[in-house]
């Protein structure tokens, strides 16, 4: 995981590049890719911040909120840029595909969590059966030992 300070610096550099490309009216597909990668990284870090940061929690929270807001504005500018160039359909396709991927990722994550829970339950059941078997073996051993001691006692 990249540290928050580097992440913020990278996102800000990407934002500056996208702003410049939009201002010049250029087709900056590669910058858009970098922008959305940076946006995803920022949103993931915002959702689950790393513990190792030199910043205070308040400063880190404010930076991520401001950065998320700025990235939302840039995304809106990218959308307008697509529409100005007559590529509204491409933008709509992008939104549909992004939503599909997000939904698939969530479904995969839920499935992985279910599989993990199922595996944990299976392990718990195996441990329970093994402990039960050990207890039964211990009881049988104690009964056998007690019986043998009783037989020896009765012979004397």
pLDDT in tens, 27-81: 666 677 777 887 887 777 777 766 655 667 787 778 878 888 888 888 888 888 8
Question: What is the separation, in whole angstroms, between the first and last Cα of the chain?
Answer: 75
| Range with the poorest average pLDDT among 20-24, 83-87, 135-139 | 20-24
String of DSSP letters for 43-98: HHHHHS--S--SS-HHHHHHHHHHHHHHHHHHHHHHHHHHHHTT-HHHHHHHHHHH
132 or 42, which is more confident: 132
Higher pLDDT, 116 or 70: 116
Residue 83's pLDDT band, with cuts at 50, 70 and 90, is confident
Q: What is the mean pLDDT of residues 78-103?
A: 87
Q: Would you place residue 126 in the very low, low, confident or very high pLDDT band (cuts 50, 70, 90)?
A: very high
Phi, psi of 3 (to 5 degrees): -70, 150
What's the pLDDT at 127?
Answer: 96
Burial 40-60, CB ≥16 within 10 A → b, else e: ebbeebbeeeeeeeeeeeeeb
DSSP string, 113-142: HHHHHHHHHHHHHHHHHHHHHHHHHHHHHH
In the predicted structure, residue 25 carries a pLDDT above the cut 70: no
Query: What's the whole-number mean pLDDT along residues 3-17?
Result: 72
- Of 67-81, 103-117, 133-147, which range is least confident? 67-81
Please report, rounded to a whole number, the percentage of residues in the chain having pLDDT higher than 90.
Answer: 34
**What does the pLDDT read at residue 34?**
78
């Amino acid at each position: 995981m990249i540290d928050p300070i580097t992440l913020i610096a990278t996102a800000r550099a990407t934002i500056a590049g996208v702003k410049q490309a939009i201002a010049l009216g250029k087709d900056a597909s590669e910058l858009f890719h970098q922008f959305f990668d940076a946006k995803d990284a920022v949103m993931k870090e915002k959702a689950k911040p790393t513990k190792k940061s030199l910043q205070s929690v308040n400063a880190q929270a404010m930076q991520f909120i401001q950065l998320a807001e700025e990235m939302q504005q840039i995304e809106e500018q990218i959308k307008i840029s697509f529409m100005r160039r007559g590529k509204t359909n491409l933008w709509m396709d992008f939104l549909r595909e992004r939503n599909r991927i997000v939904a698939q990722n969530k479904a995969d994550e839920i499935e992985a969590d279910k599989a993990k829970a199922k595996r944990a339950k299976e392990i718990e059941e195996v441990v329970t059966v093994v402990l039960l078997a050990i207890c039964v073996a211990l009881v049988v051993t104690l009964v056998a030992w007690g019986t043998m001691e009783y037989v020896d006692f009765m012979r004397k």
